[in-house]
Amino acid sequence: MKAYHEMSRQELLEEQAALELQFNEIKKKKLKLDMSRGKPSYSQLELSNEMMDVLDSHSYFNDETGTDCRNYGILAGIPEAKRLMGEMSEVGPDDMIIFGNSSLNIMFDTVSRSFTHGVCGATPWHKLDRVKFLCPVPGYDRHFRITEYFGIEMINIPMSETGPDMDLVEQYVQSDPAVKGIWCTPKYSNPQGYSYSDETVRHFAALTPAAEDFRIYWDNAYSIHHLYEDPEEQDVILEILEECRKAGHPDIVFKFISTSKVTFPGSGIAALAASKRNLEDIRKHMAVQTIGHDKMNQLRHVRFFGNLANMQQHMHRHAEILRPKFEAVEETFERELGGLEIGEWTKPKGGYFISFDSLDGCAKAIVAKCAEAGVKLTEAGATYPYGKDPRDRNIRIAPSFPEPQELQRAAAIFVLSTKLVSIQKYLGEMA
């Protein structure tokens, strides 16, 4: 089939009429399909049900040191949980603190603490005239919502298949003391599914910030979330804390991780890894905030998995559910949109999203068109700070939650909507 930009006005009108008939038939079905967020499906949640049987009223509730996990105490997490989460995060148990169920909550608190009390003795951010954050785009909308909530000025940094534009990152970080952080999803990034190259990770570690309290917010959300079992098909990235230590900058990174998409998203465990100096500073504030997080949940996870190898086997079962969904969407896009030159999409090897770029100025219209036919997508622009995609073209596709049959319908509606909006763009340019 011809690319749409090669078609005559008459050809476009004929194609539009045929597609409108299909679209109107679908609208009559009054579907309700959700591809708006990267939520695990029912089948994925079922994989962790046996974790609920690990503890019962007859269980031994003490950790390996003999401490009763039902009681107060152990601010930084039980030793076996620190060891397990350390393995998952590729750091030692002494390099991390175990928190509650959400890494997003840790990130929010870390930013909030920086405003109220500063970072390791630096001036609290609320006393500064300006605070800035670098934001690789497209990126994770909830990262951007945190910094927007605190009134932080956000600066777009273009992403590529190897990571953020590091020359631009270096320029901002090393010249402007108002730049206090950068958001990163370094492995299977949200939404593109890109993983940072070794060169990118080393470039981060070598940064010499103008601000003493600059920190890299390294959200390693998809560290073991591969779609393929073959190691050749899995992305591997360098461990950032070790690289920062090698470069002589151990304090410039906060590394976040959780089991949110490993076990139960609302009832997982989350952790932060950092240098000794950073952890000491954080524990000082935690001692006022809490007497300790949910140690019973930590114990439950440890006894369910035992070690990282078992956790990785568990993730293979997740992949068996997710992989066909990703491949189905990619196949539909290739079959229906390939050659039309009205969109480009990523083909990630892990994570939870596919990033789709439409023709400029079409993303909002495509999302609205999908909504007409009953498909809910993440709001266009959400992958950019302030919800403003300067080219109005990026759309985040989340294949995980719908059941396979629903996903096929949703993908078909998406390509149909993309075709109709693209034709309308070209017809408008011909007028």
pLDDT digits (tens, 9 = 90+) for 324-378: 999 999 999 999 999 999 999 999 999 999 999 999 999 999 999 999 999 999 9
Same structural domain, 178 and 89? yes
d(CA 201, CA 195): 10
Q: What ranges in 159-237 are assigned the alpha helix state H?
A: 166-175, 198-205
Rounded mean pLDDT, 273-289: 97
Q: Is residue 53 part of a domain?
A: no
The predicted model scores a pTM of 0.96
Same structural domain, 219 and 89? yes
CA 359 to each of CA 10, 154, 239, 422: distance values in angstroms, whole numbers, following the listed order:
21, 25, 37, 7
d(CA 361, CA 341): 15
Rounded mean pLDDT, 128-148: 98
Q: What is the pLDDT of residue 431?
A: 74
Same structural domain, 389 and 249? no
Q: Is residue 54 part of a domain?
A: no
d(CA 81, CA 102): 15
What average pLDDT is seen over the chain?
Answer: 97
pLDDT digits (tens, 9 = 90+) for 56-98: 999 999 999 999 999 999 999 999 999 999 999 999 999 999 9
Same structural domain, 294 and 347? no
Q: Is residue 342 part of a domain?
A: yes
Q: Is residue 286 part of a domain?
A: yes
Same structural domain, 108 and 196? yes
Instruction: Please report which helix (H) or strand (E) contains residue 289, including its range.
Output: helix 276-289
Q: Is residue 152 part of a domain?
A: yes
For the chain, what percent of residues have pLDDT higher than 90? 97
Q: How confident is the model at residue 1 (pLDDT cuts 50, 70, 90)?
A: confident
Peptide bond into 158 cis (omega under 30): no
Which of the listed residues 283, 306, 329 is the one where a domain comes to its end? 306
Same structural domain, 278 and 168? yes
Q: Is residue 118 part of a domain?
A: yes
Which of the listed residues 306, 340, 361 is the one where a domain comes to its end? 306
Which of the listed residues 267, 290, 306 is the one where a domain comes to its end? 306
Same structural domain, 113 and 254? yes
d(CA 70, CA 81): 15
Residue 26 belongs to domain with CATH number? 3.90.1150.10
Structure-token pair, residue 81: 């949980």
Rounded mean pLDDT, 382-406: 96
Domain span at residue 33? 4-44+312-430
Q: What is the pLDDT of residue 334?
A: 97
Same structural domain, 269 and 298? yes
- The answer, yes or no, to whether residue 106 has pLDDT greater than 90, is yes
Phi-psi region of 398 (alpha: psi -120 to 50; beta: other; left: phi over 0): beta
Same structural domain, 216 and 301? yes
Structural contact between residues 268 and 262, judged by C-beta atoms closer than 8 angstroms: yes
Q: Is residue 50 part of a domain?
A: no
Same structural domain, 373 and 387? yes
Same structural domain, 320 and 248? no
Please tell me the total count of domains within the chain. Answer: 2
Q: Is residue 56 part of a domain?
A: no
d(CA 370, CA 36): 11
pLDDT digits (tens, 9 = 90+) for 316-326: 999 999 999 99
Same structural domain, 143 and 291? yes
Residue 184 belongs to domain with CATH number? 3.40.640.10
pLDDT digits (tens, 9 = 90+) for 177-217: 999 999 999 999 999 999 999 999 999 999 999 999 999 99
